[in-house]
Structure 1
């Protein structure tokens, strides 16, 4: 019912518009000639086609034809056409009015179809975007679950292993001690070995906690760097001293470029990076092999530090993944790391504005991890370099 009412209004509008145009032209007679009259009526037909479509335009065209003949072609107020030229004018007007009405209506329909297609495309695009968002959310959730699984597996392993060793050592010490606190079955050497195990595994647990805290700071963008000028030799010595226990079966070869400018870094963080790389170099090398530490200036404001071993040369595909969180290589020893050390090292180096990468080692043997850090260019005050 609403559609019928709407169509009636459209046809009525076309009729009213045509009648109004005719009335104005009749009032303007005889100042308006046949050409002006024909153009005005064609305009009314065109407006009807654009505004209401082909049906109302056809009605407007037929009304215009009859009115054009009745009111404007001599003899006026009759449907008779006496002059042959007026027949030609009438025929041309009839064809033009109908053609213009249909063409205008067709153009309107095409515009409406184009608008409908645009709306449909927008709707489909929105659906596609929603689908991608849902898929992305699902993928994010899946990766989150994978991360939780990896984290749970790593935490379970890395906490259980040292705790088991500590528990076993303490149990052995207690079992080897008499009720009065005196030594029973354990020798002094045996007790020292068990205490060494407790000390080493406690250090491992402490290192695990430090890694987790550093990772949380890096992920949250809250790692506080206290930069200052510090010689590369001092930073490297701190890391080597800290790694003395795991490196006791390795030979360290240190090569620092002469007159190397001081580094402008957080000394504790960078020594932690070097420590992690030294421990990693020890893990993937055999006893009595050498570990090389090189430091040299690569540009006016950057120093590169490289740690290389003589172990197995890792394939390029593995070298690209070693800096990912929770990635663990197949090491030669029995203890696996948490899989965070190199990821944290990369985060610390990049926080200093440097870059880190892993290459093949000396003469293609073993691996070499290189990273760059800022140094103090000659003639530049530290305050200028540290200015935000």
Structure 2
């Protein structure tokens, strides 16, 4: 009725390879249950990491190690499932040659190490961060742009610009790259200008905090905004003749309110309220669980748009999941980003296992039904021959 053959011949001695189709359905059920438990553990880990140093220093690393160990321990009759060894094709000759591939990925091994440009972003001072924001905002994309050899031309250039993370992450199954926002920023639509006209208290406010009076110079306005950083969480950077950039390194929302034309000319922001939601306007942090040491682009415009730097590649640094810390703000954000990517990978794997299990059940039921029908037909034909 069907034939099971190994896709990866180097694992032919794996005890799971001779499993029947029915056993493979059971194996997929066990694997799905293990993934659901790991998915739940990721939610708990995200809560721990988000609570800051007081709790995460004691709980985060051991909880992460425990979750990964539990996933590695998921087994069928004593044989581990998440080690990458189970990869078979089931050929249903009686079903028009339909083939079902059953594969369970080595997720614990995959999650053991990661590559990211996060350390580079976390090391940026306000000036470098703002410069990269300006470069990214000024860049454009084109239909021929690609990352890791995968073209983005399924997305309109405007869509790549307005939803870069969505475009990149929709291709992560091909590129192995996942994109997260690092920090948050808002850039003025016009260059700032020296007006020489003093500003009164409150004609500029940031995140609801009134900015003190300034003398009409861009440097003084920037200084006044930064003097209240502890209150509004925002850092300003810029000088006359370039767009002013407001940054929140924790990724929180940014709002600037301008109440008169003098403040608008000085800052480059229009009169009224300009705002950006949390984790929308920052730089892109790349994370990969593949052994990628750099992200390669085929377009200088694309690398500027997506990374805010010149060149044709972005360097990634390797790290071990076991060394993830959630102690400081920077480490906590890295931990949260890695956990978020893990959650995306697990959800994709879970959907794949569910789909494979449903398809295997369907094809197996159809093959059995066809076999029973053939037996009945053969029996009827035999009776007819006997009576004649």
Name the TM tier (shorter chain): under 0.3
TM-score by length of 1: 0.21
TM-score by length of 2: 0.21
Larger helix percent = 1
Larger RCO, structure (CA 8 Å, separation 6 or more): 2
